[in-house]
Structure 1
Amino acid sequence: MIGLLDCNNFYASCERVFNPKLERKAIGILSNNDGCVIARSNELKPFVPMGMPAFKIPQDIRKKIILLSSNYELYGDMSQRVFSIVQDYLYDTELYSIDEAFLNLQNQENYIEYCHFLRKIIRQRTGIPVSIGISKTKTLAKIANHIAKKNSQHEGIYFLNTNDPIFEETLKQLPIEEIWGIGRKLSAKLISMGIDTAWKLRNSDASHLGKLFSVVLERTVLELRGTSCIELDALDIPKKNIMTSRSFGKATKELFELQEAVRIHASRGAEKLRYQHSLAQSVLVFLRTNRFHDRASQYHPSIVVPLLYPTNDTRQIIEAVQKGLKSIFKENYLYHKSGVMMLDLVDKEKRQFDFFSRAENEETKARNVTLMQTLDQINKKMGRNTVSFGGINPKASWNLKREFVSQRYTTRWDELPVVK
């Protein structure tokens, strides 16, 4: 049996944990630079659609709702707290997103009762409400989770039994576009073929659909039949590429501001490399103007900079990134976004040296590793960017616009909640 644990209205729930006045209020969380609504409490959903730009929300509705800037530091820490509890009780889990995880319940005799226990203890220790869907496959567990969240009579837990007579009716009522992994374009093609529900997809020729579209769709058909085809991934599988990027709060023409932005991206990317024990062999740097400004000149350059040898040392990556930035920067453009991607990643324990390249001596290598470990430990304990390479200007154009951000209650000493 596989379970899908999903935190209910996660961003809004995180805000409510430390501000009980938000309970039962219509809350919307805004995207970077306070652009669009990216998360909604149940109370907000009847009034504002997902993705709606904040400036388009009518004033009469605006007065009835609460809009908050994204507080990713708070959400990330609360996510870590929730799933560390899950992993205390179930080692075999797969983190799927910031608020979702698949659970291997195979060894639990009474998995429904166990999920009720897990749900209760997460709420007690973090204040975050969760729902868990249970079934034979990942795809069916996703459907079960959707039912658990929508119907309060299930108390947050729902078991979708493939042998239950209600199973057929459940899939008949589920539109094709709501199945996990079926995107808008694919659902339109399937609907044109007369496949508009999960039940019809389940009874389709899996092999034929696999040849027409992809092996992924073939597996989805089999998963709907109760045959598990999508395995639980291990938590420590490293990413093949690592991207760090950000849209700016205010467009800028200044090279020194772009240098600061990509330096922050490079530092964050190097930190992620070390976390998954990887080394990068090259880095990609890119800039973007705002494509939504029709009258502004457009320029979207990028460049790949090879590294002398595979590394996760922040200093070496920053040096390469700054070199790439200078080669693509052009004056008189208003830049709206920058980013850095770590490419050609290799396991640090399996790195292959180039016979002709200059390699670090063992003493220097050990000293550099110790320096990076110390940097990561300080920033993990005291907060990101407590120690960084180069200063950070809080008023720089590239910083996010966040006019309605709440406190980072769990990660900043000066923003801890105060009980009076």
Structure 2
Amino acid sequence: MKTPPAPLALSENTIATVKSTSPVLQENGELLTRHFYERMFRENPEVSSLFNASNQAGGTQQRALAGAICAFAANVDNLEVLASAVERIAQKHAGLRILPEHYPIVGSNLLAAIQEVLSLPADHEIVTAWAEAYGFLASILIGREHQIYTEQENKENGWSGFKNFRIVRKVRESDVITSFYLSPEDGSNVPGYKPGQYITVRVPDPKSGTTMRNYSLSCAPNPGHFRISVKAEPNGAVSNFLHGKAEGETLEIGPPCGEFFLDLSEHHERPLVLLSAGVGITPLLAMLESATNARPEREIYFIHGSLHGKTHSFASHVREISAKNDNVTSHIRYSEPTEEDRAANRFDSTGYIDAELIGNLLPTRDCDYYFCGPKPFMSSIYRQLLAWGIPGTQVHFEFFGPREELETA
């Protein structure tokens, strides 16, 4: 089953038909997406390397796609609502090097899955409508991804696809996180990027040939190198592969991507609030370094949570930044401090980062908020900012999972 060419605009009949499927998709979304992935990996195993196997095993990918399909069905008559989601998907696709030829594979399997799960004939109006809608959405994504690839390639020191980088330095930041300083093997400099963005690392995989992961760039742009700071996850195939690499070895790296970043061209007078927990510190640290260099007059509040001193990365670096910049206030909270932590005064308070702490530290709630960390932390912060009535334009986050889970929580 081929995906038809994308129309210039969706017909009224298609819009009505797709919207009418929203309730049944809400009910059967995960069943549909599980069937879709099983079918696609069976019929088109050549695309399996583009997908995160651990997310597949845990159901994260299936839930994310189900949420995206339901959101598209519900808002197909008002696609402006989905603009930020489309940008997020396009950036993720660019990081994985998704190309136009991949879309017919996904489309044919998705339409077949809809047909099979809902027991519909191939010429049913729902299948026909979704074929038209998918072609329309694919054309939007292909166009945006082409723009991203062109920007990456034309940027100074930019490139297309994957490029060999050498690990020029490896630094143990805590018991669980190690930083990797990466420079191009050909001796060139690296392109600039927006603080908060990530790069894609591609490594060998015994099953699919290769597999890829995104890692936030953990320092302000530096022409000589990228830096990623990677937590060794239990059963994390890629993170443990990286931790086993030595200085001098090479990695395949994709250009910087991502829609979660601090826009240094904007000049808000509002205070900047950077909230992180655990390894979520990595993109926020790049923002902190960049913001202090670009806007030394802007109030910055850096609030970080960790279990204890042994899992706390970049502690001395953040203290140094705070001490050197009068506009920076930092606060460290440990949930399980040790006696050694207490004796060394390594933290400012105990417990988890919550509304009371944030409210007591800030001079006003009218701030720009950026946050990243584990799901419970993210859900708590997101819920609190909503309760405070903070406008969506002032709330920015990087959530590694289906955003619907965060929003539902």
Q: Do the two structures share a fold, i.e. TM-score over 0.5?
A: no
Structure 1 or 2, whichever has the larger Rg, is 1
The answer to which structure has the higher helix fraction is: 2
> TM-score, normalization: structure 1?
0.28
> TM-score, normalization: structure 2?
0.29
